Structure 1
């Protein structure tokens, strides 16, 4: 495409659109119709220039012009409680449900890796000796040792807040770094499973695996599920870089990125719940069966939320993205 010829042919239309947008008074009916038509044409022009002959200055001008025109045509839209309700009843559970083919395998493989590491440490004394000195291992695993007192070492409220902050940051890192082909996400998963495996192995070697599971399961079920969802979403985002499908890579990444941002907000709420359990239930004086039952109930509620509410919303066309009216208009492109 000859950019100079294209600009000469359509410059008058862009100037006219800018003139209509710059008026301080209300437009007449004919002027409003003209503005809508010019907005649609200019959006088409912008798409053609971006795909055929990108020019930074011209693209910047038309992008700004289209944004102003769109705001005028559609009106200013403010976030409301309806948006928040829609997000938590449809958008977030649908996004988690739609990414299940990524986070469920991540959860299964990661759990298997954690158990394998735990078995390896529990059955190999030389590996235990490499982890820490015998006195340190005894201090970690004895009754009243560091593994048991960790959850009651700080006031419950501040401990829950600290745990929530750390876990939310880890989930956000998985979501953000997923764009780097998912490789950092795999490393984060490995570190989490290695830490879990060390605890499993050391406590099992001391004959106190039941105590360890009684401490980790109440909050760990929901917490690890949230981490796996974040990791699966990050891996999906990374794969979008490699294979965007029938969309342009830019459009695919924009859609997945918006969904990942919403996922970060939703998972922060999930991790807040797990943080409350870790801060108030795990170190409580409740019987082990009661603490584990609370953890199982929280996990079951989240899975029902995803596979019932999320499945229904997904089948209704919800993808966890912003509403269609708030998305950038796209034109079909030829490969």
Structure 2
């Protein structure tokens, strides 16, 4: 076979393929089809050249072109570090930011329920007798509540707290599969527990102990629970009102968003667990422990607002890149 003639005939095809590969991010539908067709033809040409020519430069040129075209057609895999960076700077914060009304609503509703129950317990001694015998209540307010934070080694306690908090948030996330319907009940249980214990501690003059132990880690921990509840309920609402998108497409996007939050909350709850195990029972002054918890809360909210707002301005949804239900077609 005359390789000079072969190159003369097919050289324009290779040049056109090289041009399309270089402009792959700005191709229209027809050009994408052309890219795929030329890639298939160049692959055949490479096979012919390899079997009929000893020209290493020609083989190398075609091999490089076919490899770059394959990457453009099939999509190159991003480095793992880039995916991690994108997750923490785009995916997680933008999902949290877009759902802020939902988790703010969950927070206000839960805190209102806890406040009402706490006031009820403080003002009605009869309610306290229903909650436990005088000995049981005394044991709780004098010993059990404070001892809970110091009876285990810090490392093991941090792990225990992390798992427990992750389990609560996981229940909320999983409830999204049921359109978020169980989430209000889970929030009610959490708020009722907080309100009852708060009421008992206040009624027995232990308000300083209660707030000094609950606030350092509780601010970030409850925020994580409210965020999980917010995105879960938002997923349920998407089924009812998918907006301009098809219901299946909207549900798939929000489902992936829920998973992004679930993964992000692993890190958030780890920080909360470390504070609960290392700061809450420490010998630091109460104001210092609360200040550390407040700082962690402010940093987290600032992170969500700054990175989330920026991602919204860039029209990011937090969905994975090249989502399967949004694959471009020509």
Which category describes the TM-score, using the shorter chain as reference length? 0.7 to 0.9
Cα pair 1:179 1:241 within 8 Å, conserved: no
> Which secondary structure does the structure 1 equivalent of 2:148 belong to?
helix
Match of 1:86 in 2: 86
Question: How far apart are the structure 1 equivalents of 2:174 and 2:72?
Answer: 33
Cα shift readout 1:80-113 (whole Å, capped 9, x = no counterpart): 1011011101221111100001101111111111
Gaps of 5+ in 2: 1-12, 18-31, 38-69
Match of 2:195 in 1: 197
The Cα of 1:329 is off from its aligned counterpart by: 3.0
Match of 1:159 in 2: 157
1:328 equivalent to 2:299? Answer no
* Count of residue pairs brought into register by the alignment: 271
With structure 1 as the length reference, what TM-score do the two structures score?
0.76
Alpha-carbon spacing, 1:195–1:79, altered in 2? closer, same or farther (3 Å): farther
Question: How far apart are the structure 2 equivalents of 1:213 and 1:156?
Answer: 20
The Cα of 1:242 is off from its aligned counterpart by: 1.4
With structure 2 as the length reference, what TM-score do the two structures score?
0.77
Question: How far apart are the structure 2 equivalents of 1:247 and 1:291?
Answer: 47
Match of 1:290 in 2: 288
Question: How far apart are the structure 2 equivalents of 1:34 and 1:94?
Answer: 36
Moved more, 100-109 or 177-186: 177-186
- 1:174 aligned to 165, 172, 188, which one? 172
- Map 1:14-93 to 2 at 5 A: 36=36, 73-75=73-75, 77=77, 80-93=80-93
Gaps of 5+ in 1: 1-27, 38-69
Match of 2:96 in 1: 96
Match of 1:10 in 2: none
> Which secondary structure does the structure 2 equivalent of 1:154 belong to?
coil
The Cα of 1:292 is off from its aligned counterpart by: 0.2
Match of 2:216 in 1: 218
Question: How far apart are the structure 1 equivalents of 2:85 and 2:139?
Answer: 48
- Map 1:221-232 to 2 at 5 A: 221-232=219-230
Cα shift readout 1:96-154 (whole Å, capped 9, x = no counterpart): 10000110111111111111111111111111111111101011112xx1111100111
- Map 1:117-136 to 2 at 5 A: 117-136=117-136
1:278 equivalent to 2:258? Answer no
- 2:184 aligned to 171, 183, 186, which one? 186
Q: Which has the larger radius of gyration?
A: 2
The Cα of 1:179 is off from its aligned counterpart by: 2.9
> Which secondary structure does the structure 1 equivalent of 2:244 belong to?
coil
> Which secondary structure does the structure 1 equivalent of 2:178 belong to?
coil
Moved more, 183-192 or 218-227: 183-192
The Cα of 1:35 is off from its aligned counterpart by: 8.6
Q: Give the superposed CA RMSD.
A: 2.4
- 1:248 aligned to 242, 246, 249, which one? 246
Question: How far apart are the structure 1 equivalents of 2:87 and 2:107?
Answer: 24
Match of 2:44 in 1: none
> Which secondary structure does the structure 1 equivalent of 2:250 belong to?
helix
Cα pair 1:181 1:242 within 8 Å, conserved: no
Cα shift readout 1:1-35 (whole Å, capped 9, x = no counterpart): xxxxxxxxxxxxxxxxxxxxxxxxxxx97999579
Question: How far apart are the structure 2 equivalents of 1:33 and 1:239?
Answer: 38
Match of 1:49 in 2: none
